[in-house]
Structure 1
Amino acid sequence: MNIQWYPGHMTKARRMMQENIKLIDLIIELVDARAPLSSRNPDIDELGKGKARLILLNKADLASDRANDAWAAYFREKGCFVVKLDSRSKNGMKEVQTVIQDACKEKTERDRKRGILNRPVRAMVVGIPNVGKSTFINSFAGRACAKTGNKPGVTKGAQWIRLNKQVELLDTPGILWPKFDDQKVGLRLAMLGSVNDEILNLEELAAELGAFLLERFPETLTARYGMTISESDGKEAVLSGIADARGCLMKGGEPDLKKAASFLLDDFRSGRLGRITLEFPEKS
């Protein structure tokens, strides 16, 4: 399954980020805790050279605790500050303010020596589509500052948001990169909902997700759909089993695989299947 999605506004957004990077003290990068490496835009590393970095493992409530801890350790080893976060419930939000100040201590000290006092930290909020940037900003600010939605591409332009006397945020559109060199990355992003569903074969995508769950989290399928199947049954058996469990049948009693695919993707993306991580740090 070949996946690519790079609409025109993303090129414009990347250019805007390049133009504004000189104004920035800190890059706050949101990643999806269920696939932290796949949901990092590699262009951000190039853009943010020399800037303090804060990685927010957003949607940490949807990923496994053990994997969250492993990823937090992984990014700290890379020199990044890390906070595990659930923007919707604001779990972890208090820690973000403290870590922002810690990440910018050197900048604040340089300002103080120059006689510049109380200048707010300027942070650029970046991330791929549908990773929760706008929800994070609204939760952090305690008010509706950024437009939110449950599909990718809601934020199209950039805007400065003054949170308080200490922090100003530059909200940016979610951007992907022109080509996924590893199609497994594209597949994971499609499963998470960071690629426009309209360009995807959702049955094929759901079958791939079903195969992964069958291999790594088979108990979730049993708990949610009351079915017990094995890897030897094949990935197509997952969608057939869900169709039977949910009564999704077409004329003649054939399983409605399209509807079953929709059930599986919705249940995974919303967390109704439980806490599932799609990728794990490689052991060194």
Structure 2
Amino acid sequence: MIQWYPGHMAKTKRLIEENLKLVDIVYEILDARIPYSSKNPIIDELILSKKRLVLLNKADLSDKNVNNSWISYYKKNGIECISINSLKGDGLKSINDKTYKICEDIIKKKRSKGITPRLRVMILGIPNVGKSTLINKLSGAGNAKTGNIPGVTKSKQWIKTQYFDLLDTPGILWPKFEDENVALMLAITGAIKDELLNIEEISIKLLSILKIYYPQYLLKRYNIINIDLPEYELLKNIGEKRGCLVAGGEIDVLRAAKTLIDDFRSGKLGNISLERPE
């Protein structure tokens, strides 16, 4: 079981609660590869009836058909959802259009009072899901610090864009993970620092999913002949094919595991979604 007890998470929760009244709408950013596991259930409790737009980020790394299934799932539950790629800026126009649509009543109310409608948006999501990268794309400047490791944003910051005022918040994770599967999914995608992880364990979990949904990617990338091997044997197979060897010709399983994880995270394996709405 992966444990995670950073003290600043409680502070982040308080910060969100205190600032919600200042904003018109919340952007909840999820990792398109793991929309279930990258969704912190505490966010639902915090934002309650506040208007919301769910953004499936890193859509360039995920399976487009599965993304569409998630969008339909959210729509059935009365929540607007779109897929985006904050790194390249794909989907930015859709974000603006959806925001105006969702906040139509607020805009009308402001105009009726003679106020020029400028919406305020809070950005929420777990660490390393792409919040700061999205803000920089929306604002057209490097206002928000970015990084490919969890925990880059340390405090709240307001950023002006052409259309909205954005409130960035630090990534918020659970005090502890009750569901080991969720912890493993977050570990696979890099939402938890690698130093805290058993890389072999999470690579075995990844292989178990790939065998079911994307066996063709394993066959193509690593020239694997028998996809039905147990996961640990598959990992050794990958190590052998990739030349992950130590003295005496032994297979370096840890290096093979790191190779698999890196190939997944970078998209070299293919467009992969690890979770489906069902």
* TM-score past 0.5 threshold: yes
Q: Tell me if the contact between 1:6 and 1:176 (Cα under 8 Å) persists in the aligned partners.
A: no
* 1:59–1:85 Cα contact (<8 Å) kept: yes
Q: Equivalent residue for 2:251?
A: 255
Quick one: which of 258, 268, 272 aligns to 2:268? 272
Q: CA deviation at 1:116?
A: 3.8
The answer as to 2:143 corresponding to 1:148 is: no
Asked whether 1:163 is paired with 2:161, we answer yes
**CA offsets 1:120-166 (integer angstroms, 9 cap, x no match):** 111100101111111111111111111111111111111000112x3
Question: Alpha-carbon deviation of 1:242?
Answer: 1.4
Determine the C-alpha separation between the residues in 2 that align with 1:265 and 1:29.
26
SS at match of 1:160: strand
Per-residue deviation, 1:28: 0.2
Aligned counterparts, 1:127-276, within 5 A: 127-164=125-162, 166-231=163-228, 233-276=229-272
Question: Once superposed, which parts of structure 1, at least 4 consecutive aligned residues long, lie more than 3 Å away?
Answer: none
Question: For structure 1, which runs of at least 5 residues remain unmatched after alignment?
Answer: none
Task: Give 1:135's aligned amino acid.
Answer: T
**Aligned 1:78-157 pairs, distance under 5 A:** 78-113=77-112, 115-157=113-155
Find the counterpart in structure 1 of residue 57 from structure 2. Answer: 58
Q: Sequence identity of aligned pairs in percent?
A: 47
- Give unpaired runs (5+ residues) of structure 2: none
SS of corresponding position for 1:62:
coil
CA RMSD of superposed structures (Å): 1.2
Q: Is the 8 A contact 2:132 2:144 kept in 1?
A: yes
How many residue pairs were aligned? 278
Query: 1:120 & 1:228 partners in 2: Cα distance?
Result: 58
Taking the aligned partners of 2:7 and 2:178, their CA distance within structure 1 comes to 20
Range moving further from structure 2, 210-219 or 243-252 = 210-219
- What amino acid does structure 1 have at the position aligned with 2:187? A
TM-score, scaled to structure 1 = 0.95
Hey, what's the Cα distance between the residues in 2 that align with 1:116 and 1:234? 67
| CA deviations over 1:73-92 (Å, ceiling 9, x no partner) | 11112221212101111111
* Deviation sequence 1:100-137 (CA, Å, 0-9, x none): 11111111122223x14213111100101111111111
CA contact (8 A) 2:6 2:175 kept: no
What secondary structure sits across from 2:60 in the alignment? helix
**What residue identity is the alignment partner of 1:11?**
A
1:9 corresponds to: 8
